[in-house]
């Protein structure tokens, strides 16, 4: 079946620490993965994405790692700031068949950054 899930529902860190948010997916046909950040009362905001032909991608203070062997995705946030406090969702999609960009979201991890 298709499912995306998260190992940890909450993560609490100190400002300046590095944060790691994890995600497991079950559909080996998925080829595109995205991390979204959702602040209270707002829509999901794109952070970073990765395609299945890569295992690592870096952005500004964020890195996404993809381990296709164990179907695991992680988001690393360097030097976490209070403004990073939000719910983080991973999402997956896969091409072909009847899929036209449908994103399947995980449950979300609440990241709280303490000053």
Partner 1 sequence: EPEVTQTPSHQVTQMGQEVILRCVPISNHLYFYWYRQILGQKVEFLVSFYNNEISEKSEIFDDQFSVERPDGSNFTLKIRSTKLEDSAMYFCASSPRTSTDTQYFGPGTRLTVL
Q: Under the rule (CB under 8 A), what is the footprint of partner 1?
A: 31-32, 34, 36, 41-46, 49, 89, 91, 93, 95, 98-108
Tell me if residue 85 falls in helix, strand or coil: coil
Shortest Å distance, C-beta 36 to partner 1: 8
- In the numeric block, which tokens belong to residue 93? 């999609």
Q: Which is nearer to partner 1, 83 or 115 (CB)?
A: 83
Q: Which is nearer to partner 1, 42 or 83 (CB)?
A: 42
DSSP string, 27-80: -TT--EEEEEEE-TTS--EEEEEEETT-SEEE-SSEEEEEETTTTEEEEEESS-
Shortest Å distance, C-beta 73 to partner 1: 15
Measured distance CA(85)–CA(24) in Å, rounded: 21
Q: Which is nearer to partner 1, 17 or 32 (CB)?
A: 32
Shortest Å distance, C-beta 31 to partner 1: 8
């Amino acid at each position: 079946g298709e499912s995306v899930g998260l190992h940890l529902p909450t993560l609490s860190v100190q400002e300046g620490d590095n944060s790691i948010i994890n995600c497991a997916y079950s559909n080996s046909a998925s080829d595109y993965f995205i991390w979204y950040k959702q602040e209270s009362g707002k829509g999901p905001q794109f952070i970073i994405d990765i395609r299945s032909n890569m295992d690592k991608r870096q952005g500004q203070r964020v890195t996404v790692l993809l381990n296709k062997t164990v179907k695991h995705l992680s988001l690393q946030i360097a030097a976490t700031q209070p403004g990073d406090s939000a719910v983080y969702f991973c999402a997956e999609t896969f091409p072909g068949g009847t899929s036209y960009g449908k994103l399947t979201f995980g449950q979300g991890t609440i990241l709280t950054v303490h000053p």
